[in-house]
Amino acid sequence: MDYPATINDLSRLCIHTQTTRPWDLRQCIENYAGSGIHRISVWRHLLENTDPKGIRRILKDHAMEVVSLVRGGFFASSHPGQREAAIADNLEAIREAEALGAPVLVVVCGADPGQSPVESVDQIREGIASVLPAASEVGVRLAIEPLHPMYAAGRSAIVTMKQANDLAESLDSDLVGVAVDVFHVWWDVELEREIGRCGAAGKLFAFHLSDWKTEMTDLLNDRGLMGEGCIDLKRIRGWMEQAGFEGSHEVEIFSNRYWKGNQGEFVRKICDAYLKHA
Protein backbone atom coordinates (compact mmCIF):
# COMPACT_ATOMS: atom_id res chain seq x y z
CA MET A 1 0.00 0.00 0.00
CA ASP A 2 1.16 3.54 -0.75
CA TYR A 3 1.68 5.97 2.05
CA PRO A 4 -1.13 8.47 2.68
CA ALA A 5 -0.88 12.13 1.69
CA THR A 6 1.61 14.19 3.69
CA ILE A 7 0.19 16.23 6.57
CA ASN A 8 0.65 19.93 5.79
CA ASP A 9 -0.91 21.69 8.75
CA LEU A 10 -1.83 21.31 12.41
CA SER A 11 -5.60 21.36 11.95
CA ARG A 12 -6.10 17.74 13.04
CA LEU A 13 -3.37 17.74 15.68
CA CYS A 14 -4.59 17.21 19.24
CA ILE A 15 -2.48 16.91 22.38
CA HIS A 16 -3.29 14.91 25.49
CA THR A 17 -2.76 17.06 28.56
CA GLN A 18 -0.72 14.27 30.14
CA THR A 19 1.86 14.82 27.39
CA THR A 20 2.76 18.12 29.04
CA ARG A 21 2.26 16.81 32.56
CA PRO A 22 3.92 19.74 34.40
CA TRP A 23 1.22 22.11 33.08
CA ASP A 24 -2.23 22.64 34.59
CA LEU A 25 -5.28 22.70 32.34
CA ARG A 26 -5.24 26.44 31.71
CA GLN A 27 -1.55 26.33 30.77
CA CYS A 28 -2.21 23.45 28.38
CA ILE A 29 -5.07 25.29 26.67
CA GLU A 30 -3.21 28.61 26.40
CA ASN A 31 0.06 27.11 25.23
CA TYR A 32 -1.42 24.64 22.74
CA ALA A 33 -3.49 27.44 21.21
CA GLY A 34 -0.41 29.68 21.18
CA SER A 35 1.33 27.01 19.08
CA GLY A 36 -1.54 26.78 16.61
CA ILE A 37 -3.07 23.63 18.09
CA HIS A 38 -6.82 23.79 18.67
CA ARG A 39 -7.68 20.29 19.80
CA ILE A 40 -7.13 18.87 23.27
CA SER A 41 -7.76 15.62 25.13
CA VAL A 42 -8.17 16.28 28.82
CA TRP A 43 -6.98 13.99 31.59
CA ARG A 44 -9.46 13.88 34.43
CA HIS A 45 -7.21 14.74 37.36
CA LEU A 46 -6.80 18.23 35.89
CA LEU A 47 -10.52 18.84 36.38
CA GLU A 48 -10.30 18.46 40.17
CA ASN A 49 -11.32 21.68 41.92
CA THR A 50 -12.20 23.40 38.65
CA ASP A 51 -15.50 24.86 37.56
CA PRO A 52 -16.70 23.27 34.29
CA LYS A 53 -18.28 26.54 33.15
CA GLY A 54 -15.02 28.41 33.69
CA ILE A 55 -13.09 25.76 31.80
CA ARG A 56 -15.55 25.86 28.92
CA ARG A 57 -15.10 29.61 28.73
CA ILE A 58 -11.31 29.30 28.54
CA LEU A 59 -11.68 26.62 25.86
CA LYS A 60 -14.01 28.85 23.86
CA ASP A 61 -11.73 31.89 24.21
CA HIS A 62 -8.92 29.83 22.66
CA ALA A 63 -11.08 28.16 19.98
CA MET A 64 -10.11 24.86 21.58
CA GLU A 65 -12.09 21.74 20.79
CA VAL A 66 -12.16 18.93 23.35
CA VAL A 67 -11.58 15.63 21.55
CA SER A 68 -11.84 13.28 24.49
CA LEU A 69 -11.83 12.91 28.25
CA VAL A 70 -9.20 10.48 29.58
CA ARG A 71 -9.89 8.14 31.18
CA GLY A 72 -12.58 5.83 32.49
CA GLY A 73 -12.54 2.07 32.81
CA PHE A 74 -10.67 -0.16 35.29
CA PHE A 75 -13.74 -2.36 35.51
CA ALA A 76 -11.98 -5.66 36.24
CA SER A 77 -11.55 -6.75 39.85
CA SER A 78 -11.99 -9.92 41.86
CA HIS A 79 -13.62 -7.75 44.55
CA PRO A 80 -17.29 -6.94 43.89
CA GLY A 81 -16.96 -3.71 45.91
CA GLN A 82 -14.20 -2.48 43.64
CA ARG A 83 -16.22 -3.30 40.55
CA GLU A 84 -19.10 -1.23 41.94
CA ALA A 85 -16.74 1.63 42.75
CA ALA A 86 -15.41 1.50 39.18
CA ILE A 87 -18.92 1.76 37.79
CA ALA A 88 -19.65 4.76 40.03
CA ASP A 89 -16.40 6.39 38.90
CA ASN A 90 -17.26 5.82 35.25
CA LEU A 91 -20.70 7.38 35.74
CA GLU A 92 -18.90 10.38 37.21
CA ALA A 93 -16.51 10.44 34.23
CA ILE A 94 -19.47 10.45 31.84
CA ARG A 95 -20.94 13.43 33.71
CA GLU A 96 -17.56 15.20 33.51
CA ALA A 97 -17.33 14.53 29.77
CA GLU A 98 -20.75 16.04 29.26
CA ALA A 99 -19.93 19.09 31.39
CA LEU A 100 -16.69 19.62 29.46
CA GLY A 101 -18.26 19.05 26.06
CA ALA A 102 -16.09 15.99 25.37
CA PRO A 103 -17.76 13.67 22.86
CA VAL A 104 -15.63 10.64 23.80
CA LEU A 105 -14.54 9.01 27.04
CA VAL A 106 -11.43 6.85 26.62
CA VAL A 107 -11.78 3.55 28.45
CA VAL A 108 -8.71 1.76 29.83
CA CYS A 109 -10.40 -1.49 30.68
CA GLY A 110 -8.48 -2.75 33.72
CA ALA A 111 -7.23 -6.17 34.79
CA ASP A 112 -6.76 -8.12 37.99
CA PRO A 113 -3.74 -10.45 38.19
CA GLY A 114 -5.61 -12.43 40.86
CA GLN A 115 -8.04 -13.84 38.31
CA SER A 116 -7.95 -15.10 34.74
CA PRO A 117 -8.01 -12.68 31.82
CA VAL A 118 -11.26 -14.33 30.71
CA GLU A 119 -12.92 -13.32 33.98
CA SER A 120 -11.51 -9.81 33.66
CA VAL A 121 -12.91 -9.46 30.13
CA ASP A 122 -16.36 -10.61 31.30
CA GLN A 123 -16.29 -8.02 34.10
CA ILE A 124 -15.18 -5.32 31.65
CA ARG A 125 -18.11 -6.15 29.37
CA GLU A 126 -20.52 -6.04 32.32
CA GLY A 127 -19.04 -2.76 33.53
CA ILE A 128 -19.35 -1.04 30.16
CA ALA A 129 -22.87 -2.40 29.71
CA SER A 130 -23.94 -0.99 33.05
CA VAL A 131 -22.74 2.56 32.29
CA LEU A 132 -24.00 2.52 28.70
CA PRO A 133 -27.48 3.88 29.52
CA ALA A 134 -25.93 6.93 31.24
CA ALA A 135 -23.58 7.48 28.29
CA SER A 136 -26.49 7.16 25.92
CA GLU A 137 -28.52 9.73 27.85
CA VAL A 138 -25.89 12.41 27.27
CA GLY A 139 -24.49 11.11 23.96
CA VAL A 140 -20.95 10.45 25.21
CA ARG A 141 -19.19 7.73 23.22
CA LEU A 142 -16.98 5.15 24.94
CA ALA A 143 -13.67 4.29 23.24
CA ILE A 144 -12.15 0.99 24.36
CA GLU A 145 -8.36 1.33 24.20
CA PRO A 146 -6.43 -1.94 23.83
CA LEU A 147 -3.14 -1.65 25.75
CA HIS A 148 0.17 -3.33 24.98
CA PRO A 149 0.28 -6.86 26.52
CA MET A 150 3.05 -5.74 28.91
CA TYR A 151 0.24 -4.07 30.89
CA ALA A 152 -2.01 -7.14 31.00
CA ALA A 153 -1.50 -7.83 34.70
CA GLY A 154 -2.85 -4.56 36.00
CA ARG A 155 -4.06 -2.05 33.44
CA SER A 156 -5.92 -3.93 30.75
CA ALA A 157 -7.07 -7.43 29.93
CA ILE A 158 -7.83 -6.04 26.45
CA VAL A 159 -4.47 -6.15 24.67
CA THR A 160 -5.17 -6.41 20.94
CA MET A 161 -7.33 -4.65 18.39
CA LYS A 162 -9.08 -7.96 17.73
CA GLN A 163 -10.08 -8.24 21.40
CA ALA A 164 -11.21 -4.61 21.42
CA ASN A 165 -13.28 -5.17 18.27
CA ASP A 166 -14.81 -8.36 19.69
CA LEU A 167 -15.73 -6.57 22.91
CA ALA A 168 -17.07 -3.46 21.18
CA GLU A 169 -19.16 -5.51 18.76
CA SER A 170 -20.52 -7.72 21.54
CA LEU A 171 -21.92 -4.64 23.29
CA ASP A 172 -23.91 -3.83 20.16
CA SER A 173 -24.14 -0.06 20.55
CA ASP A 174 -23.18 2.82 18.27
CA LEU A 175 -21.76 4.50 21.37
CA VAL A 176 -19.10 1.84 21.94
CA GLY A 177 -15.99 1.85 19.77
CA VAL A 178 -12.21 1.65 19.88
CA ALA A 179 -9.26 3.99 20.47
CA VAL A 180 -6.26 2.96 18.34
CA ASP A 181 -3.03 3.91 20.11
CA VAL A 182 0.03 3.13 17.99
CA PHE A 183 2.23 2.63 21.08
CA HIS A 184 0.02 -0.28 22.16
CA VAL A 185 -0.83 -1.99 18.88
CA TRP A 186 1.95 -1.29 16.35
CA TRP A 187 3.48 -4.76 16.77
CA ASP A 188 0.31 -6.66 15.85
CA VAL A 189 0.54 -8.40 12.44
CA GLU A 190 -3.26 -8.37 12.27
CA LEU A 191 -3.44 -4.61 12.82
CA GLU A 192 -4.31 -3.61 9.25
CA ARG A 193 -7.13 -6.14 9.09
CA GLU A 194 -8.52 -5.22 12.51
CA ILE A 195 -8.42 -1.48 11.77
CA GLY A 196 -10.35 -2.24 8.59
CA ARG A 197 -12.87 -4.30 10.53
CA CYS A 198 -13.26 -1.55 13.13
CA GLY A 199 -13.80 1.10 10.47
CA ALA A 200 -16.35 -1.03 8.62
CA ALA A 201 -18.31 -1.31 11.87
CA GLY A 202 -18.18 2.47 12.36
CA LYS A 203 -16.16 2.04 15.54
CA LEU A 204 -12.88 3.89 14.92
CA PHE A 205 -13.32 6.53 17.62
CA ALA A 206 -9.76 7.74 18.28
CA PHE A 207 -6.16 7.62 17.04
CA HIS A 208 -3.27 8.16 19.50
CA LEU A 209 0.30 8.92 18.41
CA SER A 210 3.75 8.54 19.94
CA ASP A 211 6.64 6.21 19.13
CA TRP A 212 8.16 3.00 20.48
CA LYS A 213 11.79 3.40 21.49
CA THR A 214 13.62 0.13 21.01
CA GLU A 215 15.68 0.83 24.13
CA MET A 216 13.10 1.90 26.66
CA THR A 217 14.22 2.88 30.15
CA ASP A 218 10.74 2.86 31.71
CA LEU A 219 7.79 0.76 30.57
CA LEU A 220 5.28 3.51 31.32
CA ASN A 221 6.99 6.87 31.06
CA ASP A 222 9.54 6.56 28.29
CA ARG A 223 7.45 6.88 25.15
CA GLY A 224 9.17 8.37 22.15
CA LEU A 225 8.37 11.47 20.17
CA MET A 226 7.19 10.58 16.66
CA GLY A 227 10.28 9.59 14.67
CA GLU A 228 12.31 8.49 17.70
CA GLY A 229 11.27 4.87 17.50
CA CYS A 230 10.36 2.03 15.18
CA ILE A 231 6.65 2.58 14.50
CA ASP A 232 5.71 3.17 10.86
CA LEU A 233 3.27 5.94 11.73
CA LYS A 234 2.45 6.92 8.16
CA ARG A 235 1.55 3.36 7.26
CA ILE A 236 -0.79 3.01 10.24
CA ARG A 237 -2.35 6.41 9.48
CA GLY A 238 -2.89 5.15 5.94
CA TRP A 239 -4.77 2.13 7.29
CA MET A 240 -6.88 4.40 9.49
CA GLU A 241 -7.76 6.65 6.56
CA GLN A 242 -8.51 3.70 4.31
CA ALA A 243 -10.91 2.48 7.00
CA GLY A 244 -12.69 5.83 6.92
CA PHE A 245 -11.21 7.56 9.96
CA GLU A 246 -11.48 11.35 9.74
CA GLY A 247 -10.88 12.27 13.37
CA SER A 248 -8.04 13.87 15.29
CA HIS A 249 -4.40 12.85 15.50
CA GLU A 250 -3.90 12.77 19.26
CA VAL A 251 -0.35 12.98 20.54
CA GLU A 252 -0.03 11.12 23.83
CA ILE A 253 3.54 10.91 25.07
CA PHE A 254 4.43 9.99 28.65
CA SER A 255 8.09 10.84 29.06
CA ASN A 256 10.12 11.49 32.18
CA ARG A 257 12.80 12.81 29.83
CA TYR A 258 10.57 15.44 28.19
CA TRP A 259 8.71 16.32 31.41
CA LYS A 260 12.03 17.43 32.90
CA GLY A 261 12.57 19.97 30.13
CA ASN A 262 10.85 23.12 28.90
CA GLN A 263 7.28 22.20 27.93
CA GLY A 264 6.92 25.00 25.37
CA GLU A 265 9.99 23.64 23.60
CA PHE A 266 8.49 20.14 23.81
CA VAL A 267 5.27 21.32 22.12
CA ARG A 268 7.31 22.88 19.30
CA LYS A 269 9.14 19.56 18.88
CA ILE A 270 5.79 17.74 18.80
CA CYS A 271 4.54 20.00 15.99
CA ASP A 272 7.71 19.46 13.94
CA ALA A 273 7.76 15.69 14.53
CA TYR A 274 4.06 15.44 13.70
CA LEU A 275 4.43 17.16 10.33
CA LYS A 276 7.54 15.15 9.51
CA HIS A 277 6.76 11.65 10.75
CA ALA A 278 3.01 11.19 11.28
Residues that bind Zn ion (CB under 5 A): 181, 208, 252
Smallest distance from Zn ion to CB 208, Å:
4
Please, are residues 191 and 236 in contact by the beta-carbon 8 Å criterion? yes
Q: Indicate the residue among 12 and 208 with the shorter CB distance to Zn ion.
A: 208
For β-strands 141-144 and 176-181, DSSP reports them as parallel
Ordered DSSP codes for 67-116 = EEEEEEE----SSHHHHHHHHHHHHHHHHHHHHHT-SEEEEE-B--TTS-
CB of 187 to Zn ion, least distance (A): 15
Looking at beta carbons only, is 140 or 185 nearer to Zn ion?
A: 185
CB 96 within 8 A of CB 69: yes
Residue closer to Zn ion, measured from CB, 83 or 208: 208
Closest approach, Cβ 14 to Zn ion, in A, equals 11
What residues form DSSP beta bridges with 103?
none
Nearer CB in complex with Zn ion: 41/90: 41
Distance from C-alpha of 150 to C-alpha of 185, rounded to nearest angstrom: 11
Give the shortest CB-181-to-Zn ion separation in angstroms: 3
**Which residues lie closer than 8 Å to 214 by C-beta, 6 or more apart?**
229, 230
Smallest gap from Cβ 114 to Zn ion, in A, equals: 26
Rounded CA-CA distance 118/111 in Å is 10
The smaller minimum CB distance to Zn ion, of residues 62 and 203, is found at: 203
Closer CB to Zn ion, residue 62 or residue 252?
Answer: 252
Residue ranges of the alpha helices (H) in the chain?
A: 25-34, 52-61, 80-100, 117-138, 161-171, 182-185, 191-200, 233-242, 256-260, 263-277
